[in-house]
Amino acid sequence: MLNFRNTNIFVAALLLMLLILNHFYPVPTFAYFIILLIYSFILFYGSYFIQSNFYIKTICSAQTNKKQIAISFDDGPAINFTPEILQVLKNENIKATFFCIGKNISGNEKILHQINNEGHVIGNHSYSHHFWFDLFSSKKMLGDMAFMNEITKETIGLTPKLFRPPYGVTNPNLKNAIIKGNYIPIGWNIRSMDTVINDEEKLLKKITSKIKPGAIILFHDTSKTTLSILPKFIKYVKTNGYEITRLDKMLNLKPYA
């Protein structure tokens, strides 16, 4: 299995073999360079593809044959467009998970209450969602994540356990922070790319073509395109015999500590 530990063992063994071989035949320097280049590429792949489970096992879908899927919204709560998205979900009687950014709660406390009161789950998406979050020390990451939980607890009295890494990036420091903080890492297996794709038809097609039992879909409640396609998306899902369930119920997990 390709993970951080196995990769390190394999690369260390390979380098050792080359060093031994070097005693008998001179090994050109570029051989070491190529190994380090491939090693860097594998580490990069592991960091940026959450479903690779390279650094930490992340839940990206449910193991089920039932026609069930879960939807999640990252980066809120936001005046644009969390309330409108909540209205669509209410009209359709659908429950979702909102991975909120701690610093966005300030000034949007009412929206956070609304998310909770309307039966959705709130997950932790860090406090800062800092651009360099993945370069933070493990301690700093943990502090950032804990601060998000503190604000949520102060606002709605609940402490989130589900954690979605900012930008979906994982690394050894984040693994330590997740373990120390006793969080449950949650990824996705369908990324809508709704922060990049503005073409509604294209976005809708991209998501609906990938739907399968147990899927976890990543949307952003800051995306106008997501707000626009959401009713059509829900209609498509229902017409095709799927049920949208809450993430924690689909995965049989407790969402709060």
Interface contacts to Zn ion, rule CB under 5 A: 74-75
Find the residue with minimal CB distance to Zn ion. Answer: 74
255: nearest Cα among 163, 162, 187, 182: 162
**CB 108, min distance to Zn ion, A:** 16
Helix (H/G/I), strand (E/B), else coil: 202? helix
**CB 51, min distance to Zn ion, A:** 16
Which of 120, 191 has the CB closer to Zn ion?
Answer: 191
- Rounded CA gap, 46 and 165, in Å? 13
Q: What type of residue sits at position 16? A: L
Q: Are 122 and 98 in contact (CB under 8 A)?
A: yes
**CB 125, min distance to Zn ion, A:** 6
**CB 28, min distance to Zn ion, A:** 44
116: nearest Cα among 92, 88, 145, 86: 86
Which of 74, 134 has the CB closer to Zn ion?
Answer: 74
**CB 167, min distance to Zn ion, A:** 6
Which of 75, 194 has the CB closer to Zn ion?
Answer: 75
Which of 46, 168 has the CB closer to Zn ion?
Answer: 168
Which of 74, 144 has the CB closer to Zn ion?
Answer: 74
- The sign of the dihedral angle between the CA atoms of 85, 214, 93, 230 is positive
Identify the helix (H) or strand (E) that includes residue 72: strand 68-74
Q: Are 255 and 161 in contact (CB under 8 A)?
A: yes
Which of 74, 248 has the CB closer to Zn ion?
Answer: 74
What is the distance, to the nearest Å, from the Cα of residue 15 to the centroid of all Cα atoms in its chain? 34
- Rounded CA gap, 104 and 245, in Å? 26
**CB 252, min distance to Zn ion, A:** 25
